[in-house]
Structure 1
Amino acid sequence: MDIPWEDVRLFLAVAETGSLSGAARKLRIGQPTVSRRLAALEYSLGAALFRRSVDGASLTSAGERLLVPAKKMAEWAGEVGRAVDSSDRSPRGLVRITASPYLSFDFLAPFAAWLAGKHPGLRLEVLSSVQYLDLNRGEADLALRSKAPTQEGLKQVLALEFENTVCVSKSLAAKLPRKPSLSDLPWIAWSPPLDTLPPNPQLEELIPGFTPAFTSDNYLVQLAAAEAGIGAMVMARFRHRFSRPTSLVPLSIDLGPYQRSTLHLVCAKSALDIPRVRRVSELLVSELEKTGASKAS
């Protein structure tokens, strides 16, 4: 039997978020609509796809059999969408780029303002997320990531190495020893459930008994805490022409194996056939190469 793509998309959203409410948020529709459409899909298939409970929705055996082909269908839907978009030969319209909260705030937001002034036909949608969106499915057009792409169908457009540094407020710096060690510092880090993100695991490895002085699940809240003098943050030494003034000062502290990181500009291979995506990609490469970071080998 034929299953409409929109029904497959809804099934995937429930499977990957683990709940009807999560799928509703992801698809930007009401939860009653998700429940109604899922019930209709299960009725047409003659099998339950999920077990509902207070903890969410888990796949049944029938749902598990559908999951892999549904993911492949999602990737092909993204490919079809890119093929349609590539027929538009003018670099105009919306380009969606996903990046970490830090890069979205510090670099992409001012880059978008510059882009609007220089190339008024192009618009950016910045998807700030600590989770990697699926570029093959078309959840975003471009991505700035800390890891090189491994998924088939993705292309690394650029890789740059940059230094990490420890930053504190001037008031906190004045209270520290002349040559502070990592364990001398009160640290600002991610709170659960994001405490598996950098720099938390790295600091746990470098500092015995690591306990942050302040945690938050929001990057801007962490930045405000650092500026207020609560503690230190590990930040990228990533200076670009859009960089805003900051009251934080760097400390001369060795981060060992985590002193350097790599930034990757990634997209689906076929996305570069879309003129607007290719043009934004070229402009991003041009700006990133001006930062003084070195190209990764």
Structure 2
Amino acid sequence: MDIPWEDVRLFLAVAETGSLSGAARKLRIGQPTVSRRLAALEYSLGAALFRRSVDGASLTSAGERLLAPARKMAEWAGEVGRAVESSDTSPRGLVRITASPYLCFDFLAPFAAWLARTHPGLRLEVLSSVQYLDLNRGEADLALRNRAPTQEGLKGVLSLEFENAVFVSKSLAAKLPREPRLADLPWIAWAPPLDMLPPNPQLEELVPGFSPVFTSDNYLVQIAAAEAGLGAVVMTRSAHRFARPTSLVPLSISLGPFARSSLHLVCAKSALDIPRVRLVSELLVSELEKVGMGHSRP
């Protein structure tokens, strides 16, 4: 039996989000449409793929057997799409980049404005996510990540190291001891369910009884709180030319083993065959190499 790709894509969205509503959001279609199409798929297969409950949708044994080949099919669909697009010799059109909220706000948004002025044929879509999107499947063209790629089919275009520092408002800095310790600082950090993201685990290791004075699941809210003098944040000390003015100042305080962090520009290997993706990748490398330390090109 031939299963259309769109049905496989729907099945994967439900399997990986754990619910019909999550799949609807991921695919940008209505939940009734997801429910109707999934029912039609299960009818055509003669087997239930999911067990529905108030907690979501979990795979049946038939669904479990379909999951691995469906993921392979998704990767090959991404390859097919990139092969088609590589025939376009003009570096024009949409390029999708995914990164952490910090990098999207601090670097990629102003980089996109510069790109629009200097290369008007290109347009960026910046996908802010704390989860890694699947580049093999084509969920994004490029990614800025804090871990080097290990998944088969991915390529590391550039690896850099950056210095991390503790930043506070000038008003808070004036109230602190002359040589403050990490434990002396009121901290701003991630709120659940994102509290396992850096720097929370690192601060928990460095600061006995770590208890932030303010938490948020939104990076911009954290920055606003820091600029208002509420507490300290950990940020990369990188003076790139797109940096926005800020009232935050760095403290002379050691972050110990977490004083540096790495950054990797990653893509699917075949993505660089697409002229517009290759051009944006080269422009990103050029900008990042100006501010990174110990850079390398894998």
TM-score by length of 1: 0.99
- Cα distance in 2, alignment partners of residues 133 and 254 from structure 1: 33
- Cα distance in 1, alignment partners of residues 240 and 13 from structure 2: 37
The one-letter code sitting in structure 2 at the alignment partner of 1:220 is: L
Is the 2:166–2:233 contact (alpha carbons within 8 Å) kept by the matching residues of 1? yes
- Cα distance in 2, alignment partners of residues 112 and 273 from structure 1: 21
Is the 1:10–1:34 contact (alpha carbons within 8 Å) kept by the matching residues of 2? yes
Is the 1:155–1:269 contact (alpha carbons within 8 Å) kept by the matching residues of 2? yes
Is the 2:161–2:292 contact (alpha carbons within 8 Å) kept by the matching residues of 1? no
The one-letter code sitting in structure 1 at the alignment partner of 2:147 is: K
Partner of 2:237: 237
Equivalences for residues 108-257 of structure 1 within 5 A: 108-257=108-257
> Residues 28-47 of structure 1: CA distance to partner in whole angstroms, max 9, x if unpaired?
00000000000000000111
CA RMSD of aligned residues (A): 0.8
- State the identity %: 87
Describe the SS at the equivalent of 1:195: coil
Partner of 1:275: 275
> Residues 36-72 of structure 1: CA distance to partner in whole angstroms, max 9, x if unpaired?
0000000001111001111100011110110000000
- Cα distance in 1, alignment partners of residues 184 and 296 from structure 2: 32
Residue 296 of structure 1 and its aligned partner are, at CA, apart by 4.8
Moved more, 204-213 or 137-146: 204-213
> Residues 73-128 of structure 1: CA distance to partner in whole angstroms, max 9, x if unpaired?
00000000000000001100000000111110111111111111111111100001
Residue 208 of structure 1 and its aligned partner are, at CA, apart by 1.2
Is the 2:160–2:292 contact (alpha carbons within 8 Å) kept by the matching residues of 1? no
Instruction: Give the unaligned 5+ runs of structure 2.
Output: none
- Cα distance in 2, alignment partners of residues 246 and 216 from structure 1: 20
Residue 292 of structure 1 and its aligned partner are, at CA, apart by 4.6
- Cα distance in 2, alignment partners of residues 79 and 123 from structure 1: 22
- Cα distance in 1, alignment partners of residues 125 and 5 from structure 2: 25
* Displacement over 2 Å in runs of 4+: none
TM-score by length of 2: 0.99
- Cα distance in 1, alignment partners of residues 290 and 208 from structure 2: 38
Instruction: Give the unaligned 5+ runs of structure 1.
Output: none
Equivalences for residues 276-291 of structure 1 within 5 A: 276-291=276-291
Is the 2:98–2:126 contact (alpha carbons within 8 Å) kept by the matching residues of 1? yes
